[in-house]
Amino acid sequence: MITITHYMVLSAILFSMGTIGVLTRKNAIVVFMCVELMLNAVNLTFIALSSHLGNMDGQIFVFFIMTVAAAEAAVGLALMIAFFRNRESIDVEEFSLLKW
Amino acid sequence: MELLQLFFFYLVAFVAVVSGFCVISCKNPINSAISLVMTFFCLAIFYVMLHAPFMAAVQIMVYAGAIMVLIIFVMMLLNQGSEVIARYRHAVTGAFIAAVLMLIQVVVILKNGGVSGMVGPNTAEVVESVGHTELIGQAMFTDFLLPFEIASILLLVAIVGAVVLAKREV
């Protein structure tokens, strides 16, 4: 029998892997993809709990997370193109304009 | 039947975790992107198993379709080669420690507490008889009408923002 705990642990593993990726990778697009992985782990939690409790609200929330992720993808990738035009690189180490 | 279900769950979970690991460990960003698509498909399978077929369809169309195409498009536009994976060893160890701590935290919380929350009327039988898309549509256009409109404005702002940021001269 698949319980809710199975889904929770799986999404915790996916979220932790996304965290590792965000903290260790240098390519800004890969960091972005790891953020998408973390968002998807949270989506899995939402849908698992929503279907476990028989409450539709969690799935509507996932719908809005997907909308925000799409908007974030469009704006984030536009930012990367603008940055690449200035620096010839999308290495996160180069993103140091605001560094004190 | 139950055992088969569990076996299928572990199979798909294994594929999801392995492809998630490929996302964070592949040297070439394109390989990471393809692995991420695989993870999205595995999650879509879980959504079907959780009686949410509409969310599975949206997952494949929006994530594996639209967002991944955008990411791969930008990757090919920028023409980046393989990257050096990590220059500082302490960053990798720190990240692993942070991730493992988070995992331990989640497991402890799950072990000590149960699942609770507002229980709704939409059980698996109801979803199957009424239809998942109908239920989603009903909730979205009655209770969540205002957030729905705000999301449309957000998308409009994102379109304009992306054009302004990526254009050479506005």
Q: Residue B95: pLDDT band by 50, 70, 90 thresholds?
A: confident
Residue A68's alpha-carbon distances to A55, B41, B98, B116, in angstroms, are 22, 20, 26, 27
**Residues B113-125, mean pLDDT to the nearest whole number:** 77
CATH number at residue A51: 1.10.287.3510
Q: Is the pLDDT of residue B130 over 90?
A: no
Mean pLDDT, chain B, as a whole number?
A: 87
**Whether B75 and A55 lie within 8 Å, measured CB to CB:** no
Confirm or reject contact between B62 and chain A (CB < 8 A).
yes
DSSP-assigned beta bridge partners for residue A27: A91
**Residues B47-59, mean pLDDT to the nearest whole number:** 92
- End-to-end CA distance of chain A: give it in Å, rounded: 54
* Chain A residue closest in CA terms to B89: A24
The answer to whether B43 and B24 have CB atoms below 8 angstroms apart is no
Q: Is residue A100 part of a domain?
A: no
Q: What is the number of other CB atoms lying within 10 angstroms of the CB of residue A8?
A: 20
Cβ neighbours of residue B72 closer than 8 Å, sequence gap 6 or more: B30, B33
Which pLDDT score, from 0 to 100, does residue A71 have?
A: 93
The answer to whether A22 and A37 have CB atoms below 8 angstroms apart is no
Say how many domains are in chain A. Answer: 1
Q: Is residue A99 part of a domain?
A: no
- End-to-end CA distance of chain B: give it in Å, rounded: 61
Which pLDDT score, from 0 to 100, does residue B101 have?
A: 92
Confirm or reject contact between B123 and chain A (CB < 8 A).
yes
**Residues A87-100, mean pLDDT to the nearest whole number:** 79
User: Please, how many CA atoms are within 13 Å of residue A16, restricted to the half-sphere of its CB?
Assistant: 20
Which pLDDT score, from 0 to 100, does residue B87 have?
A: 59
pLDDT digits (tens, 9 = 90+) for A39-91: 999 999 999 999 888 888 889 999 999 999 999 999 999 988 888 888 888 88
Interface size between A and B, measured as CB pairs under 8 A: 236
Domain ranges of chain B: 7-81, 87-112, 123-170
CB contacts, 8 Å: B168 with chain A: 85
With a pLDDT cut of 70, the percent of chain B lying above it is 94
Q: Kindly report the CATH number that applies to the domain delimited by B7-81.
A: 1.20.120.1200
* pTM for this predicted structure: 0.90
Domain that holds residue A38: 4-94
**Identity of the residue in A14, A49, A85 whose CB atom sits nearest the CB atom of B117:** A49
With a pLDDT cut of 90, the percent of chain B lying above it is 46
**Residues B60-88, mean pLDDT to the nearest whole number:** 80
The answer to whether B132 and A60 have CB atoms below 8 angstroms apart is no
What is the C-alpha to C-alpha distance for residues A2 and B168, in angstroms, rounded to an integer?
Answer: 53
Is the ipTM value over 0.85, yes or no? yes
